[in-house]
């Protein structure tokens, strides 16, 4: 399984497309393992680039 880090928006979009294609992967298969790794990488990328601030209770 060859997987590269997600460093750019292009890498991110490519990973999302591959995740979409792998969504129907059977459990305990190489495809499912690849899906798991890609989802982890995408989550890390999103946490670094699209961080959401917690809501401010004073503004609610």
* Residue 51 confidence (pLDDT) above 90: no
Q: Between the CA atoms of 36, 41, 42 and 44, what dihedral angle is there, to the nearest 10 degrees?
A: 130
- Residues whose CB falls within 8 Å of the CB of residue 36, separated by 6 or more in sequence, listed in order: none
Domain parsing of the chain, residue ranges:
9-51
| pLDDT at residue 60 greater than cutoff 70 | no
The residue-averaged pLDDT of 16-24 equals 97
Cα dihedral across residues 14, 20, 21, 22: positive or negative: positive
The helix (run of H) or strand (run of E) holding residue 36 is helix 30-49
Separation of CA 2 from chain center: 16
Quote the pTM value.
0.81
């Amino acid at each position: 399984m060859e997987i590269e880090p997600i460093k750019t928006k292009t890498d991110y979009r490519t990973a999302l497309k591959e995740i979409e294609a792998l969504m129907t992967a059977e459990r305990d298969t190489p495809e499912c393992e690849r899906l798991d790794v890609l989802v982890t990488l995408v989550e890390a990328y999103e946490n670094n680039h699209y961080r959401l601030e917690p809501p401010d209770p004073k503004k609610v």
